[in-house]
Amino acid sequence: MSAQTLDQLPTPCLLVDQERTRANIDRMDLQLGQLQVPLRPHLKTCKNIDIARQMLDAHPGAATVSTLAEADYFFGHGIKDLLYAVGIAPGKLQAVAERRAAGMHLSIILDSLAAATAVTAAARRLDCAYRVLLEVDADGHRAGFRADDPDLENSARMLADGGCEVAGIMVHAGGSYACQQTEAIADMAATERMAALSAATRLREIGLEAPVVSVGSTPTATFSRNLDGVTEVRAGVYVFQDLVMAGLGVCRDEDIALSVLTEVIGHRVQSGQVVIDAGWMALSRDRGTAGQARDRGYGLVRDVDGRDLGEVVVQATNQEHGILAHADGTPLSAEEFPVGRRLRILPNHACATAGQHGGYWLIEDGAVQRWLERCQGW
Ligand SMILES: Cc1ncc(COP(=O)(O)O)c(C=O)c1O
């Protein structure tokens, strides 16, 4: 697709701001540099090789993915060391074995004796020495062996006896997204680290090397005070940041690199609302700021160049319509938001909004540079 101006791009479409992206990457690299731990960037947010290469500038070679489609896409672009960080589905074990046989240094994760049994059986059947990290639950958020679950050791022993490589432990403190204060996120980071370290110690006590201690989310990576003993951090959304991260104090609204370009298509004069051509198909249904001190609806409205327009939000969405309103109830004027005016919407959740689009327009120095594809599917 050839580059155009912001006035010419078909709406709705996704924009990514190069300067903000670079600054977000530099900020995370600085934080982890100070804590002396390498980043294994999670590429599920960007799903694009040009942006991934910038994320990997300071941490060459190793990345995290959330789908096998991402693994294939990034492997095709030369990134060989990939952690597939979703509990492995037994139905995917053959596909993992095929990728490992093709030279992909693909690691998988699991968090139950049942999954370890399936992996061990597949290892024998397919003659594949799977490289496995055991997921540990630090906060009751989603997945992982609970602290003190003897199945952690039982699974590790079964995998090792079955010819698999027990690489170590991974923890994702997703509960950090619900913290109310940055101090609480720092505490969550300490909990995440301790959960990972104590599980790694348990594996070492049964004679396994378990060299990898992998932790991370963008909030915990941002506010970690100490990562001693941790061998890598995983974070992804930091690359673009979003309104949920701004609500947590992880970034400012001005740091958000991703936006949806939209156009005003009408007015609801009686209610002082404005209608745009970006509904939930363009923005996603994510309402991640709903539980935060400032609810940003389905996104925060900026002018076409990304400048502040006050607290105007996308209050409601239909499939292809968005309804804008001022957060304090002040009516919006049709004169200020005429039909045809272009606006940008900052997303609640960058991964979810980006996931609605096949690619982005890269914006640098205020100008549209080029189209960047996004890898899609599973
Ligand atoms: C296992 C795992 N690691 C790391 C991350 C990255 O966290 P964030 O999106 O906060 O950067 C995620 C995100 O969901 C994840 O699921």
- Ligand 1 atom, smallest distance to 42 CA: 6
Q: How many CB atoms lie within 10 A of CB 221?
A: 27
Q: Are residues 216 and 258 in the same domain?
A: no
d(C-alpha 300, C-alpha 244), whole Å: 11
Kindly give the distance from the C-alpha atom of residue 234 to the centroid of ligand 1, in angstroms, as a whole number.
Answer: 7
Residues in a beta bridge with 70: none
Kindly give the distance from the C-alpha atom of residue 55 to the centroid of ligand 1, in angstroms, as a whole number.
Answer: 15
| Location of structure tokens 């990457």 | 25
Kindly give the distance from the C-alpha atom of residue 216 to the centroid of ligand 1, in angstroms, as a whole number.
Answer: 7
Q: Determine if ligand 1 sits within 6 Å of the CB of residue 230.
A: no
Task: Report the pLDDT value the prediction gives residue 176, as an integer from 0 to 100.
Answer: 80
| pTM of the entire predicted model | 0.95
Q: How far is CA 62 from each of CA 20, 29, 331, rounded to the nearest angstrom?
A: 23, 15, 50
102 near 127, Cβ under 8 Å? no
Q: Are residues 342 and 204 in the same domain?
A: no
Q: Determine if ligand 1 sits within 6 Å of the CB of residue 250.
A: no
Task: Report the pLDDT value the prediction gives residue 2, as an integer from 0 to 100.
Answer: 58
Residues in a beta bridge with 349: none
Q: Are residues 280 and 233 in the same domain?
A: no
Task: Report the pLDDT value the prediction gives residue 64, as an integer from 0 to 100.
Answer: 98
Q: Determine if ligand 1 sits within 6 Å of the CB of residue 24.
A: no
Q: How far does CA 286 lie from the centroid of its chain?
A: 14
- Ligand 1 atom, smallest distance to 177 CA: 10
Is 8 within a domain?
A: no
Q: Probe ligand 1: pick from 234, 242, 349, max atoms within 8 Å of CB?
A: 234
Task: Report the pLDDT value the prediction gives residue 362, as an integer from 0 to 100.
Answer: 97
Kindly give the distance from the C-alpha atom of residue 193 to the centroid of ligand 1, in angstroms, as a whole number.
Answer: 15
The parent domain of residue 129 ranges over 19-240
Contacts of 91 (CB under 8 A, 6+ apart): none
Q: Are residues 194 and 118 in the same domain?
A: yes
Q: Are residues 119 and 266 in the same domain?
A: no
Q: Are residues 265 and 343 in the same domain?
A: yes
For CA atoms 219, 221, 226, 228, the dihedral sign is positive
Task: Report the pLDDT value the prediction gives residue 29, as an integer from 0 to 100.
Answer: 97
Per-position b or e across 277-301, b if 16+ CB within 10 A of its CB: bbbbebbbebbbbeebeebbbbbbb
Question: What CATH number did the domain enclosing 279 receive?
Answer: 2.40.37.20
Is 278 within a domain?
A: yes
Q: Are residues 45 and 150 in the same domain?
A: yes
Q: Determine if ligand 1 sits within 6 Å of the CB of residue 42.
A: yes
Is 365 within a domain?
A: yes
Q: Are residues 296 and 354 in the same domain?
A: yes
Tens digits of per-residue pLDDT, 71-93?
999 999 999 999 999 999 999 99
Residue ranges for the chain with pLDDT beneath 50: none
Tens digits of per-residue pLDDT, 209-248?
999 999 999 999 999 999 999 999 999 999 999 999 999 9
Q: How many CB atoms lie within 10 A of CB 2?
A: 6
134 near 152, Cβ under 8 Å? yes
Q: Determine if ligand 1 sits within 6 Å of the CB of residue 234.
A: yes
Three-state secondary-structure class, residue 158: helix
- Ligand 1 atom, smallest distance to 220 CA: 10
Q: Determine if ligand 1 sits within 6 Å of the CB of residue 216.
A: yes
